Every structure is written in C-alpha cells, then in structure tokens.
Amino acid sequence: MFIWLDADGCPNDVKDCVFKASLRTETRVILVADRWFKLPPHPFLELKVVNQGFNAADDYIVDHASPSDLVVTDDIPLAHRLVLGGVPTLSRRGQVFDEGNIGDRLATRDLMEGLRSSGLITGGPSSYSPNDKRKFAESFDRLLSKCLAKK
C-alpha cells in the first residue's frame, strides 16, 4: 500500500499529517509534483517529479495508484478518475470522494469554473483553516485505518 499525495500546492499541514501517519504505520508516501522541492529526512517519503505538461501529475497518479492505495488531492477531475478506478481518494479538507458524491462534485466544479470564466463569480476556494486541518486529520486517519485493514 502507498499513500499518494498530489503535492503541487498542498498545504504543509496536510503534508505534516500524512508524514506523521506514514512513520506511525510504516507506509510509503509518494509525492507527485511538477517541480522538485526538498523533503524532510524520512524513511518512507519519495518525490516523483513529472513533466510540467497539462495533467502530467494527474496522469502519473492514475497510472500508478491502485485500489489498495490512498490518494490525497483537491483536483476534482483527478479524484473522479481515481474513484472510477476504485482508488480511495480524500480531499485536503477531509472529504472522502466516492461513487455517491464524485459526479455531483465534478458537475459543481465545472459550473463554478464556467461562472468564473464568464466573470459572474470571482475568486476561488477559501484559505486553508484550522478547521480544515482538523477535518482532514480525522478523515485521513479513518480512511488510512480502513485501507490498512484491507492489507
């Protein structure tokens, strides 16, 4: 089992939570990004730098993650592809994506993108809050325990 982290723009609080859980459970974490960055000394971390092409990181994760893994991402189209492949997927704000909610999330994302591009709505998601951090940690621990139990 691997924990995959869509690392571009990932909040440090999320990384810290995942890294601590990785040490506790001795589970490898693969961070996928379009640029190199320094990782802390940690025996279970690996950084995979992909080409900076459109969706290169997403494609890499989809091609390599399996249903026995866990993926953390806020990218809704990526989450959609993973859920269709049976891969447990979680947002950085603690929402578990599944077959029951990913279609609605994708439709909402597409609608909001259209409204933003037409100028009817400006701005994006709110900044990452302590409440988001707490929700992520709780959901991540539950989902990780569930994934590890299937090992």
Instruction: Look up the pTM and report it.
Output: 0.87
The three-state secondary structure class of 85 is coil
Q: How far apart are CA 29 and CA 4, in angstroms?
A: 6
Name the domain count of the chain. Answer: 1
Domain extent, residue 79, equals 2-149
* Beta strand ranges found along the chain (DSSP E): 2-6, 28-33, 45-49, 70-72, 89-90, 96-97
Query: Is the dihedral angle over the CA atoms 112, 115, 119, 120 positive or is it negative?
Result: negative
The three-state secondary structure class of 91 is coil
Look at the chain and count its residues.
Answer: 151
Per-residue confidence band for 145, with pLDDT thresholds at 50, 70 and 90: very high
* 130-149 helix and 12-25 helix, angle to the nearest 10 degrees: 30
Which pLDDT tens digit goes with each residue over 21-66? Answer: 999 999 999 999 999 999 999 999 999 999 877 789 999 999 999 9
User: The domain spanning residue 31 has which CATH number?
Assistant: 3.40.50
